[in-house]
């Protein structure tokens, strides 16, 4: 499958994407995960991206497109991909369209995960993430806590609150989403690719997406 997942920060794109990869071997491509790994490794991209990310601002389109051009041509994308957190702006969506045309591939569907605002806020403030850049498992201190000593149940690394999950950065990320990313909903509606899905439980959402792929 070739899917774009849209949705506000905290809508559960990462969790849904991970579950979808189990369906047919498509890979999850999370620009946020790639950028956090780059920051941790201190690469040139990471150094350039960090200040934007810590404030909850978007990283410039030029950096994102350079990174995604490479990523989408990797061998593991042949069986399909789930784009999680990309595109985030209209220019990124337009560049993606051109890139896919050049590569001779098409998107199956763009799924917009709809989640009520109070649920989003609660999720973002209670979310914790595994600090191991190769794992980045997502926890929730209320509904899915890490081990008692605050470690990841998958890889054992410390589970942390991300720098961009302070209250101030969260508010900024939500504003940035409304201003820059929400317009993608009507962009993809016009392209005839959009499917809105009310998303409260990730497993149910996955089933709805699978059904949408067959319609
Ligand atoms: P996420 O984990 O998807 O919420 O991404 C974390 C942060 O990485 C965002 O707040 C942005 O600073 C940056 N980021 C991730 N994806 C993109 C993108 N497609 N365009 C610009 N910035 C991005």
Which residue, among 95, 107, 64, has the nearest Cα to 212 in the 3D structure?
Answer: 107
Mutate to test the pocket of ligand 1, among 13, 29, 35, 164 (most ligand atoms within 8 A of CB): 35
pLDDT of residue 162: 83
Q: Which of 18, 88, 128, 195 is catalytic?
A: 88
Tell me, yes or no, whether 72 lies in a domain. Answer: no
Verify whether residue 173 is a known catalytic residue.
yes
Give the C-alpha distances (Å, rounded to integers) separating 96 from 54, 110, 149, 175, 180: 25, 13, 42, 23, 16
Output the pLDDT for position 214. Answer: 78
Closest to 82 in 3D by CA, of 154, 133, 33: 33
3 state SS for 157-180: CEEECCHHHCHHHHHHHHHHHHHH
User: Mean pLDDT throughout 7-22?
Assistant: 92
pLDDT in tens, 65-118: 999 999 999 999 999 999 999 999 999 999 999 999 999 999 999 999 999 988
Q: Output the pLDDT for position 156.
A: 97
Q: Which atom of ligand 1 is nearest to the CA of 164?
A: 10
Please work out whether the CB of residue 52 comes within 6 Å of at least one atom of ligand 1.
yes
13 Cα nearest atom in ligand 1:
3
- For the Cβ of 95 lying below 6 angstroms from any atom of ligand 1, the answer is no
Average pLDDT value for the chain: 93
Ligand 1 atom closest to the Cα of residue 86 is 19
Backbone dihedral region of 4: left (phi > 0), alpha (psi from -120 to 50 degrees) or beta? Answer: beta
Domain count, the chain: 1
Distance 215 CA to ligand 1 centre (A): 31
Q: What is the mean pLDDT of residues 45-73?
A: 94
pLDDT above 90 for 17: yes
117 catalytic per annotation: no
The residues that bridge with 5 in the sheet, in sequence order, are 84, 111
Domain encompassing residue 153: 2-26+79-212
Alpha helix ranges (H) inside the chain: 13-24, 31-41, 44-55, 61-71, 90-103, 117-126, 167-176, 183-190, 202-213
For ligand 1, the distance from its centroid to the CA atom of residue 189, given in whole angstroms, is 22
pLDDT at 43: 95
- Does any domain span residue 59? no
Mean pLDDT, range 33-62, rounded to an integer: 93
Please report the pLDDT score of residue 197 as a whole number: 96
188 burial class (0-12, 13-18, 19+ CB within 10 angstroms)?
buried
Q: What percent of the chain has pLDDT over 70?
A: 100
Between residues 187 and 172, the one the model is more confident about: 187
Q: Is residue 33 part of a domain?
A: no
CA trace torsion 44, 17, 75, 69 (10° rounding)? -40
Distance between Cα 53 and ligand 1 center (Å)? 7
Confidence at residue 91, expressed as pLDDT on a 0 to 100 scale: 98
Measured CA to CA in angstroms, residue 171 lies from 167, 168, 185, 206 at distances of: 6, 5, 21, 28
**What CATH number does residue 190 fall under?**
3.40.50.300
- pLDDT for 165 equals 82
Answer whether residue 160 is part of any domain. Answer: yes
User: pLDDT per residue over 112-135, tens digit each?
Assistant: 999 998 889 888 889 899 999 888
Per-residue confidence band for 56, with pLDDT thresholds at 50, 70 and 90: confident
Pocket lining: 7 vs ligand 1, CB cutoff 6 Å: no
Q: Is the pLDDT of residue 154 over 90?
A: yes
Beta carbon of 64 within 6 Å of any ligand 1 atom: yes
């Amino acid at each position: 499958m070739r899917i774009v997942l849209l949705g506000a920060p905290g809508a559960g794109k990462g969790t849904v994407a991970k579950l979808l990869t189990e369906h047919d071997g498509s890979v999850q491509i999370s620009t946020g995960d790639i950028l956090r790994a780059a920051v941790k490794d201190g690469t040139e991209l990471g150094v350039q991206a960090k200040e934007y990310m810590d404030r909850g601002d978007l990283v410039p389109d030029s950096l994102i497109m350079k990174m995604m051009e490479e990523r989408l041509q990797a061998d593991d994308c042949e069986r399909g991909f789930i784009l999680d957190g990309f595109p985030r702006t209209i220019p990124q969506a337009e560049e993606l369209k051109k890139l896919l045309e050049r590569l001779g591939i098409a998107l199956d569907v763009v799924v917009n995960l709809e989640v009520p605002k109070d649920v989003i806020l609660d999720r973002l403030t209670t979310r914790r993430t595994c600090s191991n850049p190769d794992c980045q498992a997502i926890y929730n201190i209320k509904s899915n806590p890490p081990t008692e000593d605050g470690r990841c149940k998958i890889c054992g690394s410390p589970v942390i609150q991300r720098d961009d999950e302070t209250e101030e950065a969260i508010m900024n990320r939500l504003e940035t989403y409304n201003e820059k990313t929400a317009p993608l909903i009507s962009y993809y509606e016009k392209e005839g690719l959009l499917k809105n899905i009310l998303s409260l439980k990730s497993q149910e959402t996955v089933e709805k997406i699978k059904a949408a792929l067959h319609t």
